[in-house]
Structure 1
Amino acid sequence: MGIVNIDDDLHDQLRRACTVSSRSINAQANFWIKVGMLCEMHPAMSFQDIVAQELRAAGVRPQALKPQVLKPGRA
């Protein structure tokens, strides 16, 4: 494992993103690097397709979605 130097703004964005994704700063950086690399290598695939393929490759099985219940007054 090595050290990667990034600018302060990107580090700040990583810190903010990891609070939303419940990842550590290192795990968030690893995710962005891995997905970014895969996106560059497979430009015809969408982000969602790449993540879905990686999840399948890891053995994650999709769960059925619960039916959406609309609140009164919302279309």
Structure 2
Amino acid sequence: MGIVKLSDSMHENLRIASAAFSRSINAQAEHWMRVGLLAELHPQLTHAQLGQLLIRAERDGGLDLARLADELAPAKKPNTRARA
């Protein structure tokens, strides 16, 4: 756990959003960070699709950046060149 410095205006945005969505301020900030992280990793997906990813991640044990990176990495192809 760590401390993150936020601008006063962002903290106010978090306060309003957290009340609107019945989340704590910390939970709202974490939600926005998860959505932002997934949006950066999957820019082609819609917000609804990102939400589905979050649900699947939670079902599968939580959002794991290392696992996501492995899933996004190009498949390693074996070297099939014949040696001379």
Both proteins in one fold, TM over 0.5: yes
Between structure 1 and structure 2, the one with the greater Rg is 2
Provide the rounded CA distance (Å) in 2 between the counterparts of 1:6 and 1:54: 24
TM-score, L = length of structure 2:
0.66
1:10 aligns with 2:3: no
Amino acid paired to 2:40: E
Aligned to 1:44: 44
Aligned counterpart, 1:26: 26
Identify unmatched segments of 5+ residues in structure 2.
60-84
Aligned to 1:62: none
Query: Structure 1 CA distance, aligned partners of 2:46 and 2:7?
Result: 27
Structure 1 segments, 4+ long, off by >6 Å, are: none
TM-score, normalization by structure 1: 0.73
- Which blocks of at least 5 consecutive residues in structure 1 are unaligned? 60-75
SS in 1 for 2:23: coil
- Percent identity over paired residues: 44
SS in 1 for 2:5: coil
- Give RMSD over aligned pairs: 1.0
Greater percentage in helix:
2
